[in-house]
Structure 1
Amino acid sequence: MKQSSGNSTTIARSAGVVSIAVMCSRVLGLIREQVFATLFGAGFAYDAFVVAFRIPNLLRDLFGEGALSAAFVTVFSDYDTNRTKEETWRLASNVLTFFAIALSLISILGIYLSEPLVHLLAPDYDLIPGKTALTVTLTRIMLPFLVAISLSAVVMGMLNTKGRFFVPAIASSFFNLGSIVAGTGLAFLLPRYGQPAIAGMAIGTLVGGILQLGIQLPTLRKVGFSYRIRFDLRDSGLIRILKLMIPATIGLSATQINIFINTNFAASCVEGSVSWLNYAFRLVQLPIGIFGVALSIAMMPLLARQAAEKNVSEMRATLVSSLVMVLALTIPATAGLMLLAEPIIRLIFEHGAFTAADTRATAQALSLYSVGLFAYSSNKVLVPAFYALNKTRYPVIASFIAIATNLIFINLTIDRFQHMAIALSTSLTMLLNFLFLTTILSLKMDGLPFGYLTRGCLKITFATATMSALVYAGNSLAASWMTGNLLQQGISLFTIILLAGITYIVLLNAMRLSELSEVLAKIGSRLKR
């Protein structure tokens, strides 16, 4: 597939930059979770925080970062390609003003309705004295986070379209830094004034959201943007964005319904279930962010530009090359997380209030979440293609199919498997989404080069199987160190992962997977310089 070479190199280069930044953010995110695990463990306080944070997070995904970001990049890329600079920046100012006002109003309404929202999301919290009241308080503290993080997504879209990827991607590191530093400091300070320590972490989350937006503004000015107050509801570009957002918001509402279903069921399981699932999903988000999200961010402006130029053949090549990249990175990550779930959880979280029983329960959830890792990451690559083609109704349909599947599966298995049923159901719905979106996209693009994709998958599967055998053997040989002191755990886990990673890369390179060869060649040229 020679035509994909230039595109895959461009995507690989941009995705590599984003991946480095995202890795920094995810590592800081894990440190943030370690702080939570050490200070609060898995139970009353952290359960309350997870549900409280889920409310602004649901609204962010529904109205802000997800639908807004994808719709904005599509229209902004079109303006950047086909309109004047003045028209492009005028659109940007109008979008920022409109959404700052709209999201502020939504946040105020959410603060007013916090109590019924908590009752809706976690009705069983009423059975534990004080848990609902704490969740309501934390929700009210964190709701303004919605405004900062959604505007941050708009700014990120502007910078990505202008070819700036690193600063927007590293911005989320400042969210985690703000959460850790401000949150931890306040968690120790607030109890002296009769306030719960967990409220400090909620304030830290708000501080982090403001930092994530603020750190991008100097770079935005450098690319030529100067904000001018503009509020024009008749702006054709704004109207296009809102029209694109409608099906996206409907589709994301289906995703949010799934999250609502999962949270509701988790809250009805034994205490700690919400925490176990959240800790596990945070770990799964590490490879999703580094691989799936990074490739999606790098690919979206390129796809949007190719769509504006009506170049379907190049879009097809870009998409399949990106899929091969994401599969090459996530399939071995899936195997590694499943085989090393318990040692990873033990090393990262089993300190302070986090017990060995919490480790076992969280590892079970992590293994099951990992089943759908490659599909979850691939969907991050597939969905922008539908936006670029203006076929936004199909991700919506896929999302509602996922709701039905999720609801049926959890109802059939929750009594027997408890929190594990939720993790497995999430993976199965992602797999179903992946199959549906791939099939529809192939039909809408007059076929995809599945032969190329299949050959890549066979190479990836063989290399992953060999790597998995090495991991399994290493895990057995180092069993005593895996449960030893912190240093022994770290050395043994790092050694196994390093050897497995080298083995995997050597095998894929020997089998000449072109996407990997291009990435390695780019790294080699950078090192020589």
Structure 2
Amino acid sequence: MFSRVLGLVREQVFAILFGAGYAYDSFVVAFRIPNLLRDLFGEGALSAAFVSVFSDYNTNKSRQETMMLASNTLCFFGVSISILVLVGMFLADLIVSLLAPDFALVPGKTELTSLLTIIMMPFLLFVSLAAVVMGILNTRGIFFLPALSSSFFNAGSIITGTSLAIILPRYGYPAIIGMAIGTLVGGILQLAVQIPALRKAGFQWYPRISFHDTGLHRILKLMVPATIGLSATQINIFINTNFASSCAEGSVSWLNYAFRLVQLPIGLFGVAISIAALPVLASMASQKKYHEMNDAFISSLTMVFCLTIPATIGLIFLAEPIIRIIFEHGAFTSLDTQATAIALSLYAAGLFAYASNKVIVPVFYAINASRYPVIGSFLTIGANIIIILFTIETFQHRAIALSTSLTMMLNFVFLMTVLYHVNGGFSFARLFSSITKIAVASGAMLLLLYGLSLALPISDEHNLLSQILLLAITIISGAALYLMILWQLKLPEINSLINQVKNKLLPGN
């Protein structure tokens, strides 16, 4: 949570210093290149594959064999990713021209993006190794420091980047280069902060690479399907970036700011519920308790709907004041606020599908049917291209946000339909009953928000503190009414959640 807050602060720094346009467009595209590769090969496929094999070694092999696997993995991927980084730096111009071809229409924009790409490309190496180190530490029962490492990335990139962004223009360099260097420093810190804990965990480094290591072979084999599964998402990001670069200047920035905000509830609700549900679902599946597993799945999905539907309403209804309060400072203008708010509203429309898919996909893995999420992901690529092609001329950057939400909804429908047939069905009646209660509470909340918007409008005529206060009153009032109605309607999941909170706050009762 702290890392997400720092991540939002980092975006605020960008908004204040650069707003939305030439410089930040270039940064977003440049950072997207190592970030895509990180998600594809590093923190995504590599991390999952390594943890699986390393956990097995940690349980069934000697300490020396386990540490040799860890060392060999770090050495192998350290060298491999270094080569990939060098290739990326060498081909930066070509990659940028493929990812954002229309940047060439703006003098100097492609060149700046290429330079930023070269600066930030080594970030891929450090963050990938950090993911492996995190896997080692987590397997050894050390969780706090690895979880905190991403906060060091954000803190390092904010402090270093902001400092250099102020200093570099005095020497004739663009300020955005400072933020790129700050990002690289943040990546180094994310790895470096975990090294002391790695030593305490008994890690021994053997400076060699063994290509005959069976553990390494297993990791590479596991990475193949994981990489294929993740590639669909990365292809969609590539497509969206390509189209966004063809829209008005600032479009890449507006979409990025908006999506960053949508990621907060996705992370808080979808990912959190998914992490909590996965071991339970996997355990039930392994014991062939499919009826209980379906009940647990419906309960998890209900909780996702319970949290994301009001969040969607809030983000859509309050998009403009939220963007204005968070970002409209410094170089970020009121026009940027309007454009970003529209994108936020369109992204938010698909929030329930985003978060739900995070819960649905683990069920497929639990029942050994992982091919279906991969199929669904690739279906979204075709749908995404078609929707954007038919809408981008009219809606510009809004078409990309709209398409993203629609394709997530399509994937949700596909996964739910397939899961129903593959898993022998589940209680739609229970799910429908829960959604009906959530809809009633959400409708009442929406009416309250509308009434408050008339009685207490959050206008830019107010000072910042007044706007924050009015927004807080609106959100708290809406949330309180929503929870109260669900409590009265006796939604089991919300009642359970409230009881858990009460028990923690009032343990004696």
TM-score (norm. length: structure 2): 0.91
Gap change, CA 1:385 and 1:408, over 3 Å in 2: same
Contact 2:321–2:458 (CA<8 Å) still a contact in 1?
A: no
Matched, 1:185 2:191: no
The one-letter code sitting in structure 1 at the alignment partner of 2:175 is: A
CA-atom RMSD in angstroms: 2.6
Gap change, CA 1:109 and 1:312, over 3 Å in 2: farther
Report the Cα distance in structure 1 between the residues aligned to 2:141 and 2:491, rounded to whole angstroms.
Answer: 27
Matched, 1:457 2:457: no
Which position in structure 2 is the counterpart of 1:226?
203
Report the Cα distance in structure 1 between the residues aligned to 2:295 and 2:73, rounded to whole angstroms.
Answer: 32
Contact 1:481–1:492 (CA<8 Å) still a contact in 2?
A: no
The correspondence for 1:83, drawn from 21, 38, 60, is: 60
1:268 alignment partner, SS class: coil
Which position in structure 2 is the counterpart of 1:10?
none
The correspondence for 1:146, drawn from 119, 124, 128, is: 124
Contact 2:458–2:470 (CA<8 Å) still a contact in 1?
A: no
The one-letter code sitting in structure 1 at the alignment partner of 2:448 is: L
Runs of 5+ unmatched residues, structure 1: 1-21
Deviations 1:391-450 (A, max 9, x none): 332222112111110111111111111100110000011111112222223333333343
Which position in structure 1 is the counterpart of 2:377?
399
Matched, 1:133 2:111: yes
- Residues 171-320 of structure 1: matches in 2 within 5 Å? 171-217=149-195, 224=201, 226-229=203-206, 231-300=209-278, 303=281, 315-320=293-298
Report the Cα distance in structure 2 between the residues aligned to 1:98 and 1:313, rounded to whole angstroms.
Answer: 44
Aligned-pair CA distance for 1:247: 2.4
The correspondence for 1:496, drawn from 448, 452, 474, is: 474
Report the Cα distance in structure 2 between the residues aligned to 1:522 and 1:417, rounded to whole angstroms.
Answer: 45
Report the Cα distance in structure 1 between the residues aligned to 2:419 and 2:276, rounded to whole angstroms.
Answer: 19
Report the Cα distance in structure 2 between the residues aligned to 1:518 and 1:83, rounded to whole angstroms.
Answer: 39
Contact 1:322–1:381 (CA<8 Å) still a contact in 2?
A: yes
- Residues 12-27 of structure 1: matches in 2 within 5 Å? 22=1, 24-27=2-5
Q: State the identity %.
A: 61
Report the Cα distance in structure 1 between the residues aligned to 2:496 and 2:66, rounded to whole angstroms.
Answer: 34
> Greater RCO between the two (CA within 8 Å, min separation 6)?
1
Gap change, CA 1:480 and 1:276, over 3 Å in 2: closer
Aligned-pair CA distance for 1:299: 4.0
Contact 2:458–2:471 (CA<8 Å) still a contact in 1?
A: no
2:245 alignment partner, SS class: helix
Q: How many equivalent residue pairs? A: 505
The correspondence for 1:434, drawn from 405, 412, 421, is: 412
Gap change, CA 1:84 and 1:331, over 3 Å in 2: farther
The one-letter code sitting in structure 2 at the alignment partner of 1:174 is: F
Q: Which has the larger radius of gyration?
A: 2
The one-letter code sitting in structure 2 at the alignment partner of 1:488 is: S
Report the Cα distance in structure 2 between the residues aligned to 1:167 and 1:454, rounded to whole angstroms.
Answer: 42
Report the Cα distance in structure 2 between the residues aligned to 1:473 and 1:192, rounded to whole angstroms.
Answer: 51
Report the Cα distance in structure 1 between the residues aligned to 2:265 and 2:369, rounded to whole angstroms.
Answer: 28
Which position in structure 2 is the counterpart of 1:15?
none
Deviations 1:441-484 (A, max 9, x none): 33333333434433332232222222222122212222264541
Deviations 1:309-339 (A, max 9, x none): 6665565454433322222221111111000
Which position in structure 1 is the counterpart of 2:396?
418
Which position in structure 2 is the counterpart of 1:521?
499
Report the Cα distance in structure 1 between the residues aligned to 2:153 and 2:5, rounded to whole angstroms.
Answer: 12
Which position in structure 2 is the counterpart of 1:47?
25
Contact 1:41–1:355 (CA<8 Å) still a contact in 2?
A: yes
Report the Cα distance in structure 2 between the residues aligned to 1:228 and 1:235, rounded to whole angstroms.
Answer: 15
Deviations 1:136-185 (A, max 9, x none): 11001111111222233334445556676554443322221111111100
The correspondence for 1:62, drawn from 29, 40, 47, is: 40
Runs of 5+ unmatched residues, structure 2: none
Report the Cα distance in structure 1 between the residues aligned to 2:334 and 2:48, rounded to whole angstroms.
Answer: 41
Matched, 1:362 2:360: no
> Which stretch has the larger CA shift, 319-328 or 429-438?
319-328
2:331 alignment partner, SS class: coil
